[in-house]
């Protein structure tokens, strides 16, 4: 027999590898109310753990195999990774169960001929499961390669961060990427804080205050999506740095607002609420199916004063009017979200950064053309890479007049009164005026934003 948790975990990992799906989306779809809480917890641990530690797992497995794990049939590779992750990282799992159920996974995938191999490799791995990994890495391995193995990241990514951040900050970033991120929510009406928190606690959830925003809070001990507070639209699940981005726009009542790359829609609701019934908010995206998903989300949040438009924002925008506020939350590599989306680190290739840069520059230039005089634009990404961040802003503003970038570490108007009292909001902005969050520092995803105004 294979436990439900391992069975679901195997199927999710198979689809991540074979279909290019995202683990978080699949887990959300698979772990409904019919799945026991303990099974849902173990499934999530196995899926995210195997994805985060894939390189290290493969490095250890390759020592026991005649050919690399990457060249094995996918069901065999997944069974080995799932088994070894339990042996190495989950002390509460009996080694016998980790080995035997991996063997059963291979058999259920009709790879019975590989059952003996899986059994033998994992039994040997079980014998050395408490030996520190450092013992298996040769001392003459270059530092980027060594860190890439031990912290399970691509070497090219580690090399970039070492060159820019230095070894100490790079290691801190690598470690943060391998820890499960806080499950953070947004409270949509601060006046209901006590009422909502009491309801969540009655549902068995533990609550911790946000690190940046008064409206943000972290939950543990259960799923907020199963609560009435979520179903009624009183709260949403959203990383705290992500919640901060739309606040940088300082939207006022009656404003005309354009959310140019709106899907999946998490940053649109605060824009709609701030603009009010007399304002106008246009949320655009190039994918119709993502706009449909946004429409369903907005129904839960009871948001009606928003227009959804399908368009390619990298080309000239089809608007005659100008907008007082524009948000360009650009598609990006996602290197600031590797703890939340660990599969990105294995899919992203260095040459893609130049492709993202080109697209992002086109998006920003298109948006600048529709910004009204006296208006404000925020360009943001969830990337840690300069090519997608400050270099995009520099290129897009080069040779154009009438635009001014926010400079200095002072917190922009519109955000100050929303910060957690006593927090050092100024450390969110560098001396060039760029907003930055780093995983591990504020227990939030890595975000970048530039605030640009038009005179």
More confident residue, 349 or 416: 349
Q: Which of 183, 184, 154, 232 is nearest to 420 (CA)?
A: 184
More confident residue, 16 or 225: 16
SS3 state at 252: coil
406 pLDDT higher than 90 = no
CATH 3.30.70.1170 is the classification of domain 183-237: yes
Q: Averaged over 238-266, what is the pLDDT?
A: 96
Per-residue pLDDT at 222: 87
Record the tokens describing residue 386, joined without a space: 């300069």
Q: Averaged over 336-341, what is the pLDDT?
A: 97
Q: pLDDT (tens digit, 9 = 90+) per residue, 91-150? A: 999 999 999 999 999 999 999 999 999 999 999 999 999 999 999 999 999 999 999 999
Helix (H) / strand (E) element for 83: namely helix 74-89
Helix (H) / strand (E) element for 77: namely helix 74-89
414 pLDDT higher than 80 = no
CATH class of 4-136: mainly alpha
- Domain boundaries defined on the chain: 4-136, 139-178, 183-237, 240-454
157 pLDDT higher than 90 = yes
Per-residue pLDDT at 425: 62
In order of 96, 146, 218, the CA distances from 140 in angstroms are 35, 9, 43
Show the CA angle centred on residue 232, arms to residues 186 and 21, nearest 5°.
65
Catalytic residue list contains 382: yes
Q: Averaged over 33-50, what is the pLDDT?
A: 93
212 pLDDT higher than 80 = yes
Whether 240-454 and 4-136 are alike in CATH topology: the answer is no
Contact predicate 333/382, CB 8 Å? no
Q: What CATH architecture applies to the domain 240-454? A: 3-Layer(aba) Sandwich (3.40)
Helix (H) / strand (E) element for 86: namely helix 74-89
440 pLDDT higher than 90 = no
What percentage of the chain has pLDDT greater than the value 70? 99
Q: pLDDT (tens digit, 9 = 90+) per residue, 187-211? A: 999 999 999 999 999 999 999 999 9
Q: Read out DSSP for 167-206?
A: HHHHHHHHHHHTSPPPEEEEES-GGGHHHHHHHHHHTT-E
What is the chain's length?
455
Specify the pTM. Answer: 0.95
For the ranges 19-33, 323-337, 369-383, the lowest mean pLDDT is seen at 19-33
More confident residue, 88 or 399: 88
**Summary mean pLDDT of the chain:** 95
Instruction: Produce one character per residue of 347-358: b if its CB has 16 or more CB atoms within 10 Å, e if not.
Output: ebeeeebeebbe
């Amino acid at each position: 027999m294979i436990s439900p948790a391992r069975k679901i975990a195997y199927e999710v990992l198979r689809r991540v590898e074979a279909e290019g799906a995202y683990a978080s989306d699949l887990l959300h779809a698979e772990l409904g109310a019919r799945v026991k809480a303990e099974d849902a917890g173990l499934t999530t641990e196995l899926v995210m753990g195997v994805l985060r530690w894939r390189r290290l797992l493969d490095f250890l497995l390759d020592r026991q195999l005649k050919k690399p794990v990457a060249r094995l049939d996918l069901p065999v590779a997944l069974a080995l990774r799932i088994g070894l992750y339990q042996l190495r990282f989950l002390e509460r799992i009996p080694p016998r169960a980790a080995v035997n159920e991996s063997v059963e996974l291979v058999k259920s995938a009709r790879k019975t001929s590989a059952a003996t191999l899986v059994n033998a490799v994992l039994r040997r791995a079980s014998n050395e499961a408490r030996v520190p990994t450092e013992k298996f890495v040769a001392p003459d391995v270059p530092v980027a390669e060594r860190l890439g193995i031990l912290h399970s990241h691509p070497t090219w990514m580690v090399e970039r961060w070492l060159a820019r951040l230095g070894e100490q900050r790079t290691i801190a970033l690598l470690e943060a990427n391998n820890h499960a991120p806080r499950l953070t929510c947004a409270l949509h009406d601060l006046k209901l804080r006590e009422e909502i928190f009491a309801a969540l606690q009655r549902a068995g959830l533990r609550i911790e205050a946000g690190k940046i925003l008064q409206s943000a809070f972290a939950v543990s001990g259960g799923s907020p999506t199963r609560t009435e507070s979520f179903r009624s639209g009183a709260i949403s699940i959203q990383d705290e740095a992500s919640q901060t981005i739309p606040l940088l726009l300082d939207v006022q009542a009656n404003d005309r607002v354009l959310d140019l790359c709106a899907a999946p829609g998490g940053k649109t609701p605060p824009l709609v609420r701030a603009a009010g019934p007399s304002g106008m908010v246009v949320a655009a995206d190039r994918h119709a199916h993502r706009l449909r998903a946004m429409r369903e989300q907005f129904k839960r949040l009871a948001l009606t004063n928003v227009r959804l438009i399908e368009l390619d924002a990298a080309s000239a925008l089809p608007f005659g009017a100008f907008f007082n506020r524009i948000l360009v939350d650009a598609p990006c590599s996602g290197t600031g979200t590797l703890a939340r989306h660990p599969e990105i680190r294995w899919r992203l290739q260095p040459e893609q950064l130049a492709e993202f840069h080109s697209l992002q520059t086109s998006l920003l230039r298109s948006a600048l053309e529709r910004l009204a005089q006296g208006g404000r634009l925020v360009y943001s990404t969830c990337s840690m890479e300069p090519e997608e961040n400050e270099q995009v802003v520099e290129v897009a503003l080069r040779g154009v007049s009438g635009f001014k970038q926010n400079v200095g570490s002072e917190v922009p108007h519109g955000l100050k009164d929303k910060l957690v009292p006593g927090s050092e909001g100024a450390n969110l902005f560098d001396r060039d005026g760029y907003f930055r969050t780093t995983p591990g520092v504020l227990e939030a995803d890595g975000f970048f934003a530039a605030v640009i105004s038009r005179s």
